[in-house]
Amino acid sequence: MTRFVRDQSKGLLIGLSGGFFGGLAGLGGGIIMIPLMTWAMRLTQHQAHGTSLVAIIFTSLIGAITYFIHGSADWAAAVILAGCAMITARFGALYAHSLPEKQLKKAFGCFLIAISLLLISKGTVLKLSFQAGPVLHYAILIVTGMFTGFLAGMMGVGGGGVMVPPLVIFIGMPQHLAQGTSLLAMLPGSAVGAHTHYKLGNVAKAIALGLMVGGAVGAYLGASLAHHIPELYLRILFSFVGVWMGTKYLRS
């Protein structure tokens, strides 16, 4: 019983951290939870990815509701993104399961660094956003949803880091609206990916409950605070942490 309480307590703290940063940046929080689970809980990379997706179901739900309350969620766009992500999330999870541990760690490190640099450059290098026409608008949503779903299933993340930049750059969504929409859209895809990982034995049940509760609470706090912090500060903080963690993964 003592070990159970200890594991759930660690899961709770990891979920709080991931949910809080995820709510702030419009992400599921997987890029924070996965490194913490592998370093603090000694989970394998495959277990960390699968268990992270279970928690992301709750972090994305609570975060999306909070953003929606503040008027920052586009339901129509979210439905298209989510539907496409559900199609490819399972294949991403299966692909991750087929990779050796070391290769999956390196892939996750590269993913962290790429997402972090993309977010920090979004307001400078990628400042030339444009308003897409109706056909291109839906094409961008479909491609983004399918690509995000595969990466979410493979990397054990909600996919907000991949989803938010195209919404801002190519569709012209304000930052907070894009974050709320991405949180809403990642919910079904995360559920499909989590179910696939669960069937493959990649979910650590010992910490799942604490992780889900902590993630939900952290997502609410982070999403609530996000509307009171300038988005540039959010990008800088998130990018710094992401590059640092990605570098550690590559060195390992």
CA dist 33 and 18 (Å) reads: 5
Cβ distance 35 to 192 under 8 Å?
no
The residue that leads in pLDDT, 15 or 124, is 15
Lookup: tokens for 246: 């990605």
Q: What confidence tier does 126 reach under pLDDT thresholds 50, 70, 90?
A: very low
Q: What is the pTM of this model?
A: 0.82
Question: What does each C-alpha distance from 21 to 83, 86, 87, 102, 213 come to in angstroms?
Answer: 25, 24, 27, 26, 15
Do you know the residue count of the chain?
Answer: 252
Cβ distance 34 to 168 under 8 Å?
no
Lookup: tokens for 130: 């444009």
Does residue 73 register a pLDDT over 80? yes
The residue that leads in pLDDT, 156 or 161, is 156
Residue 252: CB atoms within 10 Å: 11
Does residue 239 register a pLDDT over 70? yes
- Select from 87, 92, 81 the least CA-distant residue to 52: 92
Cβ distance 24 to 238 under 8 Å?
yes
| Environment class of 187 (CB within 10 Å of its CB; exposed 0-12, middle 13-18, buried 19+) | buried
DSSP per position, 173-219: --HHHHHHHHHHHHHHHHHHHHHHHHHTT---HHHHHHHHHHHHHHH
Q: What pLDDT does 229 receive?
A: 74
User: Token match 């304000």: residue?
Assistant: 174
Q: Is 252 helix (H, G, I), strand (E, B) or coil?
A: coil
Q: What pLDDT does 132 receive?
A: 59
Lookup: tokens for 57: 């179901």
Span 196-225, pLDDT tens digits: 999 999 999 889 889 999 988 988 898 888
User: Token match 């979920």: residue?
Assistant: 15
User: Token match 């996965």: residue?
Assistant: 34
CA dist 137 and 245 (Å) reads: 34
Cβ distance 154 to 194 under 8 Å?
no
